[in-house]
A and B are shown apart, each in its own frame.
Chain A
Amino acid sequence: MQLLDWLFKVPNGTAAVTAKDRMRTMLVHDRLELPAGKLEVLEEELTAVVARYFDLEPDTTRFDLQQMDRKAALIANFRLVRSKC
């Protein structure tokens, strides 16, 4: 069984996977010429806007820049509890 695990394992935490993850993050920022810290500011401001319309489940907001071909996608995920309107 151990041999099978070894053969079929998804190589998480290996040097190759770490390198690929670091590269993805680095290149998304490089391509957008995004200065460090700006994404965090945007996250704060966007969350504040959404929070005017909805009660948000605390500490669940996820904010992510992902690679889509050679472009980037901003993925924001807010967990909504109820409308404030």
Chain B
Amino acid sequence: MSGRVIVITSGKGGVGKTTASANIGVALANTGASVCLVDMDIGLRNLDILMGLENRVVYNLVDVVEERCKLRQALVKDKRMPNLNLLPAAQTRDKTAVDADQMKKLCEELKSMFDFVLIDSPAGIESGFQNAIAGAEEAIVITTPEMSAVRDADRIIGLLEARKDEITQYRLVLNRLRPKMVANADMMGVDDVLEILSIKLLGVVPEDEDIIISTNKGEPVSGTDNTRSGLAFRNIARRLRGEEVPFMDLEAKNDTWVTKIVNFFNPVRV
């Protein structure tokens, strides 16, 4: 088997990298693929919490790299889906605990075991980010429609472009879109951000309180029905698998006829 190694990155912290990693991982696993989520945020481990797996972490990525355990021993199987696995970060070490060559080797091994290897990158553009992208062949760039997040995403895209030979494709996930504010021209919308960054769109995730609830429960929202953000992440997973999934209208419900007309001219998509 040779799986796909995809790094999920953003530059700026707090835009939803880890949430997106967990949700895309769950959604991909739900399509039947075998998935390994790799938490590369060494020293600031969080992906285990979002997955609800924090009590089952025994070994971590640094233990594997330093050969204190076998790779299979460090993998934590998800309790809902056996085809979803987590390789946790070390909490007590820092970003210098692994280097780019070790990451490349680890990714080679992982992609022989899984259909998808999703790497949750730390924020920033320093060594932690460089290590996270070292073994990746594709990237998902996450941003919110805020200026500081878009600027940092642009920097990341520049760095990914410089590694065109290794990272053959990168696409954007626009997170925490507030359709009403976009419709009122109070904040940048999907088309604005795409035009500024000149990048292909993978998906749009609306701002959604269900994300906070699902994080608290340790059950990623893409695993449950009836949430708009969950649907958005499931669509992203299907697009990653090569399916053509149309971008949906985010402002479909609870509209007056006036907002319907406005939205007709300013379509918002998931």
A residues in contact (CB < 8 Å) with B? 7-8, 11, 14-17, 19-20, 22-24, 26-27, 30-31, 67, 69-70
Given contacts A15-B187, A16-B192, A70-B157, contact A23 B262 (CB under 8 A): no
Minimum CB distance partner of A31 in chain B: B158
**Are the C-beta atoms of B185 and A16 separated by less than 8 Å?**
yes
Given contacts A16-B185, A16-B186, contact A7 B151 (CB under 8 A): no
Residues of A within 8 A of B189 (CB): 16
**Are the C-beta atoms of B196 and A11 separated by less than 8 Å?**
no
- Closest-CB distance, A36 to chain B (whole angstroms): 16
**Are the C-beta atoms of B188 and A24 separated by less than 8 Å?**
no
B residues in contact (CB < 8 Å) with A? 147, 150-151, 154-155, 157-158, 161, 182, 184-189, 192, 195-198, 258, 261-262, 265
Contact of A30 among B154, B182, B186 (CB under 8 A): B154
Minimum CB distance partner of B261 in chain A: A7
Contact of A20 among B151, B154, B196, B261 (CB under 8 A): B196
Tell me if A's interface is mostly helix, strand, loop or mixed: helix
Given contacts A20-B196, A23-B196, A67-B196, contact A15 B185 (CB under 8 A): yes
A70 to B199, CA, bound (A): 9
Contact of B186 among A15, A20, A27 (CB under 8 A): A15
A7 to B184, CA, bound (A): 11
**Are the C-beta atoms of B155 and A30 separated by less than 8 Å?**
yes
**Are the C-beta atoms of A16 and B151 separated by less than 8 Å?**
no
Contact of A70 among B147, B161, B258 (CB under 8 A): B161
Pull 6 A–B residue pairs with CB atoms less than 8 Å apart, ordered by A.
Answer: A19-B188, A19-B192, A22-B147, A27-B196, A67-B196, A70-B157
Minimum CB distance partner of B186 in chain A: A15
Minimum CB distance partner of A20 in chain B: B192
Given contacts A16-B192, A30-B155, contact A11 B185 (CB under 8 A): yes
Residues of B within 8 A of A19 (CB): 147, 187-188, 192
**Are the C-beta atoms of B261 and A17 separated by less than 8 Å?**
no
A17 to B189, CA, bound (A): 10
A6 to B192, CA, bound (A): 21
A31 to B184, CA, bound (A): 30
Residues of A within 8 A of B151 (CB): 23, 26-27, 30
* Beyond known contacts A14-B186, A67-B196, A70-B161: 19 more, CB 8 A cutoff: A11-B185, A14-B185, A15-B186, A16-B185, A16-B192, A17-B185, A19-B187, A19-B188, A19-B192, A20-B192, A20-B196, A23-B147, A26-B147, A27-B151, A27-B154, A30-B151, A30-B154, A31-B154, A70-B198
Those 6 A-B pairs whose CB atoms lie nearest each other, nearest first: A14-B185, A11-B185, A16-B185, A70-B198, A69-B198, A20-B192
**Are the C-beta atoms of B186 and A24 separated by less than 8 Å?**
no
